[in-house]
Amino acid sequence: MIRTDYQPGAGARLLATSHVGAGAVVCALSDYTVLKRPTRTSIQAGRDRHFEVPSVASLNHSCAPNLVVDVESLECRATRRVVPGEELSFFYPSTEWEMSEPFACRCGAPACIRFVAGAKFLPPEILGRYVINVHIRQMMSEWLAHAVGGSHAAHAR
């Protein structure tokens, strides 16, 4: 259902090898190594839990993704119909709180966020456009509560 495509000068990417319906499982997150810190290719699965998954290490970011990476069910699902030869991508901040290697986004989507650094650096309005993993929603809630609590404490003095 997927294959890695290597492009000289551009790196690797994952492509669909067959038609995939919206909501279908495209691949499982299996044979992974658990890490405490993020790497350039890891997928965050909890506050201090990151998966290095060789089979999807070439899964690129897009601000108009065709996949959701679900770290609870350990699978990648199509967000819409995907055709053979189409590049597979997901929205990195849907799993990543703070990226180990932020980068300028060149996905070309109309609603491109331009710079990918992790969910911590995006407003809730942007994150609300995407399916966001539970650990990221929890971390965002904690971060917002701390930010609001901190500003109230400063004003109370």
Q: What CATH number did the domain enclosing 117 receive?
A: 2.170.270.10
| One-character DSSP codes across 58-114 | T-EE-SS-SEEEETTTTEEEESS-B-TTPBPEE-GGGT-SS-SS-EE-----TT--S
Amino acid identity, position 66: N
pLDDT per residue over 30-75, tens digit each? 999 999 999 999 999 999 999 999 999 999 999 999 999 999 999 9
- For residue 9, the model assigns a pLDDT of 85
State the residue range of the domain holding 79: 2-156
Phi/psi region, residue 23 (left: phi>0; alpha: psi -120 to 50; beta: rest), is left
- For residue 150, the model assigns a pLDDT of 65
Query: Structurally, how many domains does the chain consist of?
Result: 1
User: pLDDT tens string for the chain (157 positions)?
Assistant: 899 999 888 889 999 999 999 999 999 999 999 999 999 999 999 999 999 999 999 999 999 999 999 999 999 999 999 999 999 999 999 999 999 999 999 999 999 999 999 999 999 999 999 999 999 999 999 988 887 776 544 444 4
- For residue 153, the model assigns a pLDDT of 47
d(CA 11, CA 5): 8
CB 119 within 8 A of CB 128: no
Amino acid identity, position 134: V
CB 75 within 8 A of CB 27: yes
The closest of 29, 122, 130 to 70, measured between CA atoms, is: 29
- For residue 147, the model assigns a pLDDT of 79
Amino acid identity, position 19: H
Question: Which residue blocks in 100-156 are alpha helix, DSSP H?
Answer: 124-127, 134-156
DSSP 8-state class, residue 116: E
d(CA 89, CA 15): 9
